[in-house]
Structure 1
Amino acid sequence: MSHRKTHFTLRTIASGLALSLALAASASAEVKLRMTIWSANEAHLKLFNGIAEDFKKTKPDVTVSFESLPFENYTTALTTQIAGGNAPDMAWIFETTAYDFVNSGALVPLTKTLSATPGYNLGDVAPSATERWSKGGELHAYPFSTSPFAVFVNNDLIKKAGAKTPAELIAAGQWTWPNAIATAQAVAKEPGKGGLVVRDFNYQAWQYLSSVWNAWGAAPWSADGKRCTLADKPMVDALGFIHDAIFTKKAIPGPGQNVDFFAGDAAMTITQISRASLLPKDKKFDWDLVPLPKGSAGDYAIVGQAGIGVLKAGKQPAEAAAFVAFMTNPANSAKLAQFFPSARKSLLNAEVLGKTNALLSPAQLDKVVVSGIETGKLMPGHTDFARLQQMVRSGLDAVWQPQADIPAATKAICAQIGPLLAK
Structure 2
Amino acid sequence: MKHARILLAAAAAAPLALAGCGGGEDDGPVTLRMTTWSASEDHLAMLDEIADAYIADHPDVEAIEFDPLPFEGYTSTLTTQIAGDNAPDLAWILESAAPDFVSSGALVPLGDTLSEAEGYEYDDLVPAATELWREGDELYAYPFSTSPFGVFVNNDLLTAAGQPTAAELVASGEWTWERVVAAGAAVHAATGTDGLVIRDFDYSGWDNLSTLWTGWGARAWSEDGTECGFDDPEMTEALTFMHDAVFAQEAMPGPGTTADFFAGEAAMTVTQISRAGLLAEAPFGWDLVPLPAGPAGEYSVIGQAGLGVLTVAPHPEEAADFLAYMTSPENSAKLAQYFPPPRASQLTAEVLGQANPLLTPEQLQTVVIDRIDEGVVKPGHTGQAQLDQAVRAALDPLWTPDADVAGVLAELCTAIDPLLAQ
Asked if TM exceeds 0.5, the reply is yes
Q: 1:286 to 1:31 in 2, by over 3 A?
A: farther
> Which residue matches 2:22?
none
| TM-superposed deviation, 1:192 | 6.2
The SS at the match of 1:29 is coil
Q: Which amino acid aligns with 1:40?
A: A
Which string of whole-angstrom CA distances, capped at 9 and with x for unpartnered residues, describes residues 122-179 of structure 1? 1111222222211242211111111100001112222222222211111211111111
Which string of whole-angstrom CA distances, capped at 9 and with x for unpartnered residues, describes residues 42-93 of structure 1? 3322322222222223225432222222222111111111112211111110
| TM-superposed deviation, 1:187 | 2.3
- Rounded to whole Å, the distance in 1 between the matches of 2:243 and 2:350 is 40
> Which residue matches 1:16?
none
> Which residue matches 2:157?
157
Give 5+ residue unaligned stretches, structure 1: 1-26
> Which residue matches 1:51?
50
- Rounded to whole Å, the distance in 1 between the matches of 2:53 and 2:193 is 44
Q: Which amino acid aligns with 2:263?
A: A
Displaced runs of 4+ in structure 1, greater than 4 A? Answer: none
After TM superposition, the structure 1 = structure 2 runs for residues 15-414 of structure 1, keeping only pairs within 5 Å, are 29-60=28-59, 61-189=61-189, 193-279=193-279, 281-414=280-413
The SS at the match of 2:269 is strand
- Rounded to whole Å, the distance in 1 between the matches of 2:260 and 2:409 is 29
The SS at the match of 1:290 is strand
RMSD of aligned alpha carbons: 1.6
| TM-superposed deviation, 1:386 | 0.8
Q: Which amino acid aligns with 1:314?
A: A
Contact 1:43–1:277 (CA<8 Å) still a contact in 2? no
Q: Which amino acid aligns with 1:231?
A: D
Q: Which amino acid aligns with 1:41?
A: S
Q: Which amino acid aligns with 1:219?
A: R
Which string of whole-angstrom CA distances, capped at 9 and with x for unpartnered residues, describes residues 221-278 of structure 1? 1111111111010000000000001111111111111111122211111111122233
Which string of whole-angstrom CA distances, capped at 9 and with x for unpartnered residues, describes residues 375-402 of structure 1? 1111111111111111111111111111
- By percentage of residues, which structure has more helix? 1
TM-score when normalising by structure 1: 0.90
| TM-superposed deviation, 1:302 | 0.4
- Rounded to whole Å, the distance in 2 between the matches of 1:278 and 1:310 is 32
- How many residue pairs align between the two structures? 396
Contact 2:33–2:67 (CA<8 Å) still a contact in 1? yes
> Which residue matches 1:420?
419
| TM-superposed deviation, 1:28 | 5.8
- Report which stretch shifted further, 341-350 or 48-57: 48-57
Q: Which amino acid aligns with 1:386?
A: A
Q: Which amino acid aligns with 1:30?
A: P
Q: Give me the identity figure in percent.
A: 55
> Which residue matches 2:7?
none
Contact 1:92–1:306 (CA<8 Å) still a contact in 2? yes
Q: Which amino acid aligns with 1:381?
A: G
Q: Which amino acid aligns with 1:355?
A: Q
Q: 1:264 to 1:65 in 2, by over 3 A?
A: farther
| TM-superposed deviation, 1:422 | 2.9
- Rounded to whole Å, the distance in 2 between the matches of 1:190 and 1:249 is 13
Contact 1:276–1:339 (CA<8 Å) still a contact in 2? no
The SS at the match of 2:398 is coil
Q: 1:286 to 1:29 in 2, by over 3 A?
A: farther
| TM-superposed deviation, 1:191 | 6.5
- Rounded to whole Å, the distance in 1 between the matches of 2:358 and 2:56 is 30
| TM-superposed deviation, 1:190 | 5.8
Question: Which structure's CA Rg is the greater one?
Answer: 1
> Which residue matches 1:12?
none
Q: 1:326 to 1:227 in 2, by over 3 A?
A: same
